[in-house]
Amino acid sequence: MVVAGEASGDLHGAALARALRAQDPSVRLYGLGGSAMRREGVRLLFDPTRLGTVGWSESLRQYPVLHRLFLRVCGVLERTSPDCLVLIDYPGFNLRLAEVAHRLGIPSVYYFSPTAWAYGKGRAERVARHVRKVCAVFPFEADVYREAGADVTYVGHPLLDLVAEGRRNPEELAEARAALGLGVRPGPGTAGGAGPDGPVVALLPGSREQEVRALLPVMLEAARRFGEQAPGAAYLLPLAESLVGTQAGAFVEDRAATAQVPVRLLPGQSLLALQLSDQAWVASGTATLEAALLGVPQVLLYRVSTSTYWIARMLIRIPYIGLPNIVAQRRIVPELLQGEATPGRLVNEALRLHRDRAAREVQLQGYDEVRARLGEPGALARAAQVVLQVAGDEAQPGGVPAQAEGAEAPRAGGEDARGVVRP
């Protein structure tokens, strides 16, 4: 049973499912996730990715739905008794689920475990008490969890594999540029604004509704101002797949259509958008690491509610929130947070990357350091091996019981035809 609750977890769950089947085609997978996991053949009981929230105050609004979902999943877990429970990120939900699984005698593997290295060792100790194995994606993450007493395997970061798989060859990129009307470009991270059509900027405002509503207007106003000083600038907006067909997705489409700058929508194609771009404006999250691995200069920005921000400041014990900066343990990428995440500040940073080759080179050199610290390729295969080993130790005859496939979803406002819970 695999449980992922957000868009990034869905992508990592899908990649892990593919790796599991590559090593053992007979493996049976079911659980929670989104469209990416569904495409990889994971039998989804529910899709919570469209409930994505960020922050404490925002999560409170979804609590009734999430609580009903949790109770339902606990029931499915008890009835189906999987050989292994794989937890992917989503700590508010998955930490509690790990405790339930432990009481039921079901072994669990935490992949993308809670960020104990940011919040302190309390989370790591809680994981160590209830989880059979931790698959650490960062070396410093492995150290924190080992110190807390967890059984840890450092597998490395799967984005090394996923970004390599998603790289387009020069001919494919040329075709994509032509189809989008971008003209011929020398390549990501190297153009520096040179080219017949001006700079191309990727806009990645996040995969959660609150992120998009907070950051996209800032990005579009910054784009208008940036275009005044960088003639011919064009913008690519890879709408997160989890937002397609939602109110947040409609918000993005409407804002893009009415923007005062040329915005091309590329739903679910963040890697392509980054490879076509000279720089990226990115919400804090997985996309910052994607940009780093693809060698695309970037500016990070983020906004949450005031209450969430102050709670986070009291709890978080590291100086950065951007993954490239966290991995390098120094500031490589500029971070514009809360009141600093304004169109004016964003334009200033973007123009610096556009005009100052030395500034771009400093960031690109920092990316080399990030790549070196993420370990070797093959993280997905190593993680799959850990999961299959834990599952093999507990293997039971009979596989996934029939009631897993027909499990009833929790009712809030109802559910759509794909099983997505509506608040």
Domains of the chain: 2-156+378-392 (3.40.50.2000), 161-374 (3.40.50.2000)
pLDDT digits (tens, 9 = 90+) for 341-386: 999 999 999 999 999 999 999 999 999 999 999 989 999 999 999 9
Alpha-carbon distance 248 to 239, whole Å? 10
Radius of gyration, CA atoms only, the chain: 21
Alpha-carbon distance 201 to 220, whole Å? 11
The residue whose two tokens read 């593919």 is 18
**DSSP string of 263-281?**
EEE-TT-HHHHHHT-SEEE
CB 404 within 8 A of CB 45: yes
pTM, 2 dp: 0.86
The residue whose two tokens read 């819970």 is 421
Residues near 205 by Cβ (< 8 Å), separated by ≥ 6?
211, 212, 215, 216, 219, 237, 252, 283
pLDDT for the residue numbered 134: 98
With cut-offs at 50, 70 and 90, classify the pLDDT of residue 185.
low
Alpha-carbon distance 127 to 45, whole Å? 25
**Is residue 411 pLDDT above 80, yes or no?**
no
Please report which helix (H) or strand (E) contains residue 152, including its range: strand 152-154
pLDDT digits (tens, 9 = 90+) for 302-321: 997 776 666 666 666 678 99
**Is residue 64 pLDDT above 90, yes or no?**
no
pLDDT digits (tens, 9 = 90+) for 193-236: 434 569 999 999 998 888 999 999 999 999 999 999 999 999 99
pLDDT digits (tens, 9 = 90+) for 251-294: 999 999 999 899 999 999 999 999 999 999 999 999 999 999 99
* Strand, helix or coil for residue 46: strand
Cα angle at 3 between 418 and 216, to 5 degrees? 70
pLDDT digits (tens, 9 = 90+) for 318-336: 789 999 999 999 999 999 9
pLDDT digits (tens, 9 = 90+) for 87-98: 999 998 999 999
**DSSP string of 307-369?**
HHHHHHHHH--SS--SHHHHHHTS--S-EEEGGG-SHHHHHHHHHHHHH-HHHHHHHHHHHHH
Alpha-carbon distance 97 to 53, whole Å? 18
Tokens of 334: 């500029």
Cα angle at 31 between 29 and 32, to 5 degrees? 135
